[in-house]
Amino acid sequence: MCTQFYRRLGRLARMRPGKPWNAHLFDLTMELIMTRLSLSALLLALALGACSKAPDQAQTEAAAPDAQGDSAAGKVLAEAKCASCHGLDGRGSTGDIPHLAGQKAAYMEHAMQEYINGKRAHAALQQLGKELTGKELADIAAYYAGLPRIVPAGAASAAEAASKIQQTAATCTACHGVDGNATMAGYPTLAGQHAPYLLASLQAYKSGTRKDASMAGQVARLDTPAMEALANYYSSQTAQGRGQPTGGDPVAGEPLSGKCGACHGGKGHSSNPDYPNLAGQDYAYLVKAIKAYADGSRDNAVMKSMVAGMKDQDIQHVAAFYAVQPPNADVAAKVMSAKDWADRCDKCHSAKNDNPAMVVPVIEGQQAAYIEYALKAYRDGKREQSAMHAMGMPLTDADISVIADYYANMAPR
């Protein structure tokens, strides 16, 4: 089974080069689940045996409750038992408490059963579940399911969100190009760059830890969701090369770049999203950045130690070496955008999915902090649910943050 699994994973990677490994793993996991292959066999292939479920147990988890709730009785119970956290209107009182308004009744009952059975860790909800009868749980679920869903402030449809991102990015085009491919010397290409690195850079300009008067002015008006949207937008664009460098010798720069490879990759294609890709970057920008780390105007102790003592000529050679590297080599996996991940999640979580065998929540407009908490709990095995554990395994914290922010800012569909 393991051999077959990894053969199929390798075939996916060859068919769709340029995508990150976790996207291939996510897709194959979805394929196996959706074609009803044994979840226990799937988890064995993923070396997740400790979290495996027997097929009959997995089917039990997915079974929809039979009880029909009374929403009027549920309102009385909700006011007494639930409203202090979830509100009588179904709105979570803090960011890490989920909205319940308009949520699927079957899912809410199913979730409470998981708290009762200890598959979800929350002392208050575990106790509450033991105090309520099955009929009372069904009544509460029916009440909250009948409420209008919460529309987040500033929520937009997917098309509106994309348009808003492009409008925000329009202020960046003078220096960084229409799609993040800058053409002016001294300005970096943003297209295809790692989203976590871009976000960290924007935050550094906003906080003042990275000094640049022009950038400080541009980011001053941006809040965190806007910066995250910008980072994901530029990361999803295709980088173009910046042409031949105006100085330095790429051949002489290659051996000098050896100590950079641990973070930035052998040819400037970083596998760690916290470190930027350097391949195909603007020569003049790279020279300026290296010198800024050397003189301390860019505050980074690791980079300062790495470039300490470099002569100007060596800096030019290293910059020239990275500038001539192809920016989109196969080894440089493209970071998945929020829409890329959402297309996968919607196969189960779309509001249009009314398959009674799939007891899953609607997540548009849900609290971002709660979505992050839930995804990490599934990924890390703190919530016992075989399919979601398998689906969450390929996700990094950065991927989870992108997914959570995307759905939290969506209007109900």
pLDDT tens figures, 288-305? 999 999 999 898 999 999
- pLDDT at residue 389, as a whole number: 84
Best CA proximity match to 168, nearest among 153, 156, 186: 156
Mean pLDDT of the chain: 82
Spatial distance between the Cα atoms of 406 and 288, rounded to a whole number of angstroms: 35
- What span, in angstroms and rounded, lies between the C-alpha atoms of 323 and 283? 5
Q: Can you tell me the distance from the alpha carbon of 52 to that of 68, in angstroms, rounded to the nearest whole number?
A: 31
Whether 205 and 313 share a structural domain: yes
Residue 271 lies in a domain: yes
pLDDT band at residue 307 under the 50/70/90 scheme: very high
Span 172-203, pLDDT tens digits? 999 999 899 999 999 999 999 998 899 999 99
Residue 246 reports pLDDT greater than 50: yes
Looking at residue 55, what is its pLDDT?
Answer: 34
Q: What is the pLDDT of residue 26?
A: 59
Residue 177 has what pLDDT? Answer: 93
Which pLDDT score is estimated for 10?
53
CA distance linking residue 334 with residue 404, whole number of Å = 20
193 lies in the same domain as 177: yes
The SS3 assignment for 132 reads coil
pLDDT value, residue 331 = 39
Give the separation between CA 245 and CA 324, rounded to whole angstroms.
Answer: 7
E-strand ranges in 268-375 read none
Q: Quick one: pLDDT at residue 266?
A: 84
- Domain count for the chain: 3
In a domain, 360, yes or no: no
pLDDT of 27 reads: 62
Element (H, E) at 127: helix 123-131
Tell me whether residue 210 is in a domain: yes
Q: State the pLDDT at residue 43.
A: 44
Q: Which residues pair with 298 in a beta bridge?
A: 210
Measured CA to CA, the distance from residue 338 to residue 407 in angstroms comes to 9
Specify whether 27 is located in the same domain as 51.
yes
Residue 346 in any domain: the answer is: no
Q: What is the pLDDT of residue 353?
A: 75
Query: Do 191 and 227 share a domain, yes or no?
Result: yes
Q: Running DSSP on this structure, what letter comes out for residue 239?
A: P
The tens digit of pLDDT for each residue in 124-162 reads 999 999 999 999 999 999 999 999 998 887 665 556 666
Residues 174 and 267 in one domain: yes
pLDDT tens, position by position, 356-370: 777 899 999 999 999
| Assigned domain for 48 exists | yes
| Listed residue (344, 302, 370, 314) closest to 96, CA to CA | 370
59 three-state secondary structure: helix
User: In percent, how much of the chain has pLDDT > 70?
Assistant: 80
Lowest mean pLDDT among 91-95, 154-158, 406-410: 154-158
The CATH number linked to 89 is: 1.10.760.10
Tell me, yes or no, whether 254 and 121 share the same domain: no
Residue 335 has pLDDT above 70, yes or no: no
| Domain edge (last residue) among 323, 344, 377 | 323
Same domain, yes or no, for 166 and 290? yes
Last residue of a domain, one of 90, 118, 150: 150
CB-facing half-sphere around the CA of 323: CA atoms within 13 A: 27
Are 307 and 174 in the same domain?
A: yes
Give the closest residue to 402 by CA, choosing from 264, 232, 241.
232
Task: Return the SS3 of 168.
Answer: helix
The verdict on 244 and 311 lying in the same domain is yes
Tokens encoding 145: 């399911």
**Do 180 and 307 fall within a single domain?**
yes
Q: Which residue has the higher pLDDT, 97 or 333?
A: 97
pLDDT at 67: 52
Q: Which of 323, 356, 391 is where one domain is finished?
A: 323
pLDDT digits (tens, 9 = 90+) for 374-406: 999 999 989 888 788 888 888 888 788 889 988
Burial of 410 (0-12, 13-18, 19+ CB in 10 A): buried
Give the torsion through C-alpha atoms of 5, 9, 12, 13, to 10 deg.
-160
Question: Phi-psi category of 383—alpha, beta or left, where left has phi over 0 and alpha has psi -120 to 50?
Answer: beta
Q: Which residues face 210 on adjacent strands?
A: 298
Rounded (5°) CA angle 392-375-9: 10
Query: How confident is the model at residue 2, as a pLDDT?
Result: 47
The domain containing residue 105 runs over which residues? 68-150
3-class secondary structure, 23 = helix
Regarding whether 72 and 58 lie in a shared domain, the answer is no
What is d(CA 334, CA 85) in angstroms, rounded to the nearest whole number?
40
Whether residue 22 has pLDDT greater than 80: no
Q: What is the pLDDT of residue 277?
A: 95
Residues 237 and 298 in one domain: yes
In the predicted structure, residue 102 carries a pLDDT above the cut 50: yes
pLDDT, one tens digit per residue, over 41-83 is 444 344 433 333 333 333 333 333 445 899 999 999 999 999 9
